[in-house]
Amino acid sequence: MFDVFGKLGALLKIDPVSIDNITFRFHYKVTMIILVTFSLLVTSRQYFGDPISCIGDDFETEAIDVYCWIQSTFTIPALTGAIIGVEVAHPGVASLGQAEDQYVVRHHKYYQWVTLFLFFQALMFYMPRYFWKCWEGGRVKALVENLNTPVVTPEEKKERLHVVLGYFSRYFHYHDLYAYQFFLCEIMNFVNVVGQIYFTDRFLDYGFSTYGTRVLEYTEQEIGSRHDPMDEVFPKVAKCTFHRFGPSGTIMRHDVLCVLPLNILNEKIFVFLWFWFIIVAVISGCGLVYRMATFSSSFRHLLLRGRSRLALADQLESISKKCQIGDWFLLYLLAKNMDPYIYKDFIRHLDSTLPEKDLKA
């Protein structure tokens, strides 16, 4: 277990060159690792035992376990609040024929797919990062090579700055597509997290959209005054019906109880994900509002000024007036990665290199 999660911890390491922002990292780093961790936990049988164990009378229970795992189990949601030991044997579990014809029966067949579903969600949260890395193409890393550390020889510093200045002089006003590709990935992040809330709700038979609020309401109620919504979505004990031929060839129906120990973990996982997805969606929405604000040239100047405090204000203002949004975006990324003193020299040389005419569109 420690070996597995030790490898996951390597994904949390800070990249030497940053090509995105903290909002972006909430998706492809934090959320993805959380989902992969949960996916691995669900498969850890040494902690939670077999995922299903059914109780049968005088016939092979292993076959019943496999059958009920593959097919599904079922409960009666309306009886999850019934008195245990008096009205029902377990929350939502009624005797054969007692209430199955009177109430709506909910079949649970999601549990065999929880591991794959969580892993698929992890991949979806990484996809915008994958697209951005392909589109970015290592541009920032190539530009800041050896300039992101204060320990650099004057000759190497001069040579590298000459390369970066030459790049900006040659490709000035040609970075808008570069910036818009990143903005598109930010939109993809927001759409993905909202979409994951919807697909998780579908996956859990529409029991996820209000799951967190119902659990909060349950924790505030007195014990026994209200049924646990987690028993409704993730029952620990459910029923399964198995048919087989008897000795005389007649069809025999076996009504068995199945214990689902893994659901004690699943219910906690999806409670956490309910709150986490909402938090990430709110953060991503605020990130989009911030991104819309960057289309204002004055706001961009304030952001660049805050990132490069060692540079002279008049030089930054002169450069900001000449920059389109793509040029500003790349300058902002360089400011995040370059050593502050080196970036100060870079701004000074760039101000004298760029044309005096305001070419901003």
Residue pLDDT, tens place only, 202-228: 999 888 989 999 888 887 776 655 677
Q: Tell me the average pLDDT across 175-183.
A: 96
Give the Cα separation of 318 and 355 in Å (integer): 10
Range with top average pLDDT, 50-59, 78-87, 101-110, 255-264: 255-264
3-state SS track over the chain: CHHHHHHHHHHHCCCCCCCCCHHHHHHHHHHHHHHHHHHHHHCCHHHHCCCCEEECCCCCHHHHHHHHHHCCEEECHHHCCCCECCCECECCECCCCCCCCCCCCEEECCHHHHHHHHHHHHHHHHHHHHHHHHHHCCHHHHHCCCCCCCCCCHHHHHHHHHHHHHHHHHHCCCCHHHHHHHHHHHHHHHHHHHHHHHHHHHHCCCCCCCHHHHHHHHHHCCCCCCCCHHHHHCCCEEEEEEEEECCCCCEEEEEEEEECCCHHHHHHHHHHHHHHHHHHHHHHHHHHHHHHHCCCHHHHHHHHHHHCCCCCHHHHHHHHHHCCHHHHHHHHHHHHHCCHHHHHHHHHHHHHHCCCCCCCC
Confidence of residue 244 (pLDDT cuts 50, 70, 90): confident
Angle between helices 211-220 and 263-293 (to 10 degrees): 120
Q: Does residue 254 or residue 130 have the better pLDDT?
A: 130
Instruction: Give the model's pLDDT for residue 218.
Output: 82
45 band by pLDDT with thresholds 50, 70 and 90: low
Q: For residue 71, what pLDDT is reported?
A: 84
Per-residue confidence band for 360, with pLDDT thresholds at 50, 70 and 90:
very low
In the block, tokens 């100047």 appear at 301
At 61, is the pLDDT very low, low, confident or very high (cuts 50, 70, 90)? confident
pLDDT value at position 359? Answer: 42
pLDDT at 324: 93
Predicted confidence at residue 16, as pLDDT, reads 86
**Site of tokens 């590298």:** 160
Give the model confidence (pLDDT) of 253-300 as tens digits. Answer: 778 888 888 888 899 999 999 999 999 999 999 999 999 999 999 999
